[in-house]
Structure formats: C-alpha cells, structure tokens
Structure 1
C-alpha cells in the first residue's frame, strides 16, 4: 500500500494541468501553511515568527529543471537578493537551492558562473547555501559541483539521500572536506538498480549514514519527521558523547510543528525548511510521497488558521 501511495503522489507531482491550476489559484491558500509565500518578501513575516519561537530556517525558491539561460540568471539574481535580505533583516536563515534551477541541464559553465555569484554574496554575509540533491542521474554532477566550490568557499553544504546505494561511498569520499551535510531519505522515484526499493532498508541505511557522518565529525542535519530516526540520533549522540552543537534536526514548514518546538525545548537545534514561490504543487506532492504520515501532517497544516 505504501508503494502505491508513493507512486500515486509522484504521478500527481508531474501533472502539468494541476500544477498550472495551483500556480494560478493556490498560492494564497498555501502561504503561511506549507509555503512561506509566493515570493521571499511575503515569507519574511513567517520566518520571523519561527525565529521568535527558537526555530532556525532554511528557505528555498521552488522551481527546478529550468531550460532557459535567462530564467537561470533571474533565479541567480533572486537568490542573491534573498541572501542580502536575510542579512539586512537579521534572519536566522540559510538558503537551499537546486542546481537545475541554475542551469545544470543546460551548460556546466553556466551553473558555475551563477553559483559563483551566489556564493560570493553568501560569503560576504555569512549565509550558508545548501545545494539540494535531485534525482540519481544528476547526483554525481551535483557532488562534483559541491566539491569544486567547497575548496574555495566555507558557506556551502549539500544533501545526501539514504535510499541510494551509492551514498555510503559518497559520504566517505566527502569526509576530507569535513562538510556540513543534510541527510534525507530521498523523494524521487528511482530504479531498484540504484536505490533501495524497501522502506525498511532505506531506514537502516539512513541510520548507518547518520552514525557514519556524526562519528566522522561532520556537522550533520538530520532531515526527518520519523520519530524512530529522531530517537536513534538522540541515543547515538548520548552514547558517543556527541555534542548537540554538532548536529541539528530539520523538518518541513507546516508539518509536525509541535514536535519542532518540543525539540527546541529539549535543547536541540531545529531548522524548518520554508519553501516559497508559485511552483509549490510538485514540491508538496513529493513530500506526501515520501511518507504516508505526511498526509495527515499536511492536512492539519493546510486547515489551521
């Protein structure tokens, strides 16, 4: 049943008609519930509310698989403006972005040019930029870009996905950089040739990666709504005397808000992933596909006042 549910929501995420309807009519309904707003400016008030309650944030301008050089340049300029606004407004926020939004599918030199401009601004203002991981066919290119920029910049991190067979080796290979890594289960539909098809195997690999990253001394973000994963991380930290300053938990905006605040009260750093923009529909469907229980969390978030 879980596989059927996952495939159903992944199918919906690619429905152009529903995506267009959501762009035209759904932005105001989703704003302040599952996304910050339709642009960064309108998201600031929600970010400040989260910060005031002890929650850190990372923001993401939704939209990927860009096939226009002009659009990548617009996304670059928007990201730079966002970083400057984070600094100006003194927000406790980082930035997440996808390489396909900067031209990964168009031209390698274009991605490097756009990312260099963004990271120059990020270094100036001390704002961390996380390169989000996309589907497996773009994984190696994304890691290569991260490695290239990590040699020059400090305000850069990336994401590794537990459902891919390759991730354990990727984590080991990146160890030389002592990177800031966000570990996730993974949200794309992948072939059983490259990814664990069974949830239980993904969960076990996720735990293995968390342990590997933390014992290697990496600053690690555990991005999960799964109570078992959260408790595993807490117990691992206690057993190995890993300080709370070496890791953080991350969850999605509008989902498990009570748990987020409880973790802060317990002394853990909690970062909320706040997406914004008109392209929220595909993102939302993939989040529902990740874990069936997200459906109930999302419904509660969507109907709250």
Structure 2
C-alpha cells in the first residue's frame, strides 16, 4: 500500500464530523454488510447465518479511547450481556474487546475491575475473550494486563502486531503462558522508530511470528486476507505436521466471504470478526488503510444481496 493511501484513510478515520455523520445515517447501510448491526441483538441473525456455513465468529462492540467513566462502565456491562447472550443462544462465537473502551486511559483499577467481571462471566460460560491490541503506546500496558489475568483465567487471549519491531521479543516473553494469540499485521499509524515503515518488512516479520508461534505449540489465529500468508500458513503446517486443531484463520465480516467458506470446506477453522455498534466509521476507514484490496472486498460486500 502506498503511504499516501494509508495516511488518507487513517486521516478520514479520525475525522469527527464524518464520524458523527456516519453514526447518524450510515448504520443501516453498514449493517449486515461490514458490521453485524447497531446493537448485539440485531447482530445475532447474522452470526447465525455465518455459523450455518460452518464459520465461527468473534464479536466486538465498536468504540475505543473512552475517556468518560460512565461510558466505560456501560461498555463493560455490554460485554457481559453479550457473553451471556452468546451462551444462552448457543452461538459459535467469542468476544473481542479493547481496553481503552473499558477505561484504560481513565484509571487502571477501573480496567481491572471491568476485566475481572467480564472474565468471571466468560469462565462461567467457557467463552474466549480476546483483548485487541491498540496503538504502540498502549502495547506494554495491554500485555501486562493480559499476563496478569492469564495467570488466573483460562478464557483470555490477546493480539500481537507484525509491524512493531518489539513483537518477536513479546512472543518470546509470552511463550511461558502458552497463550492463544491472534497474529495481525497492524492497522495504526506508527512512527518508524517503533514500527517497520515498509510493507515488505512487515510481511517478512509476519511470516516470522507466524512460524514462531505455531512451532511453539500454542494456539494461533492467523488474521489475514492476504493469500500469500494463508498459503504460507498452510505449507508451514504441512511441513511441521501441525494439526488443523492447533490454529485457525480469521477474516473480517463482509470481506472475502467466498474464501472464508472455501477454507471451511478444506477443513480449516475459519473465524469471522463481526463488529457491531454505531461507532463503525473509524473501524471501516482503518480496514481500508490496512490494505488496498480491502476496498474491492468492501464494495463487493456492500452490494451483495
């Protein structure tokens, strides 16, 4: 991707006026196309459709960088309700969340209290909760919180990003926890002092961390739309006799739906990331910033049915 294209979509993702406009009129356009629905109950029918195709799901209530305590409390309560609904309706779904939505930028104790309540519910229902990774300045705190809770809870996982220089070392440090990790390239705009500026270097590092984590014996989620990375993962698994039960592929809702179904037919675990909520615009722009091909995938998805 050209730097200009990436920067353009990242700029749009932070435009407050466009975000407000999208929340006011764009939700119905996005629902069932690139997001599940404007709330979780309205997303359930889309999750069931995916499950019927043999696709697993992880859901995410959109919204991050919360600075209001009341909003953070509501986000935590929403997550707990979502886990309970998943269990009650027997959906094949996990939950993803961002720590800034729970108050990471407000107060550490607030986040710990919220995560404790969420994970108590997740353990009760045996539903995995993945802590999404955000920008680099919050990376260390996110991993510290993950490690703390991982020492006490089973149903918790997190994400590492290939574009950060630090990620190889992070995987090594996390290895003793036998973690379930989602491996991604990364979507935030970072300084070249902390992240690879060139796509080729990111791709190379992505292959490196895929191999590291898959050979460690811990569960791996390869979150990519890149055919080259999908084929690399398949060949790596064959070469090292890694069971298909030891890893899965993950893709975004509304993008590469046919490929998702083909992977299921090939016997691979395929999980679809289904965001929901009215704060969908920034998420959408970052997905377009990640990879130019996403633009074509989205246009195709938005015009289906």
Counterpart in the other structure of 1:128:
128
Cα deviation, 1:148-172, whole Å, max 9, x if unaligned, reads 0000000000000000000000000
Counterpart in the other structure of 2:118:
118
3-state SS of 2:94 partner: strand
3-state SS of 1:274 partner: strand
- TM-score, normalised to structure 1, is 1.00
Counterpart in the other structure of 1:171:
171
Q: Does 1:218 align with 2:218?
A: yes
Cα distance in 2 between the residues matched to 1:16 and 1:245: 43
Counterpart in the other structure of 1:257:
257
Q: Does 1:227 align with 2:250?
A: no
Alignment of 1:189-228 (within 5 A): 189-228=189-228
- The Cα of 1:104 is off from its aligned counterpart by 0.4
- The Cα of 1:6 is off from its aligned counterpart by 0.5
- The Cα of 1:303 is off from its aligned counterpart by 1.3
Cα distance in 2 between the residues matched to 1:16 and 1:182: 30
3-state SS of 1:64 partner: coil
Cα distance in 1 between the residues matched to 2:80 and 2:48: 20
Cα distance in 1 between the residues matched to 2:38 and 2:293: 26
Alignment of 1:1-305 (within 5 A): 2-305=2-305
3-state SS of 1:58 partner: strand
Cα distance in 1 between the residues matched to 2:242 and 2:80: 35
- The Cα of 1:304 is off from its aligned counterpart by 1.2
Cα deviation, 1:178-213, whole Å, max 9, x if unaligned, reads 000000000000000000000000000000000000
* RMSD of aligned Cα (Å): 0.5
Cα distance in 2 between the residues matched to 1:25 and 1:295: 21
- The runs of 5 or more residues in structure 2 that have no matched partner are none
- The Cα of 1:139 is off from its aligned counterpart by 0.2
- The runs of 5 or more residues in structure 1 that have no matched partner are none
Cα distance in 1 between the residues matched to 2:5 and 2:69: 36
- The Cα of 1:30 is off from its aligned counterpart by 0.3
- The Cα of 1:2 is off from its aligned counterpart by 1.5
Cα distance in 1 between the residues matched to 2:148 and 2:247: 24
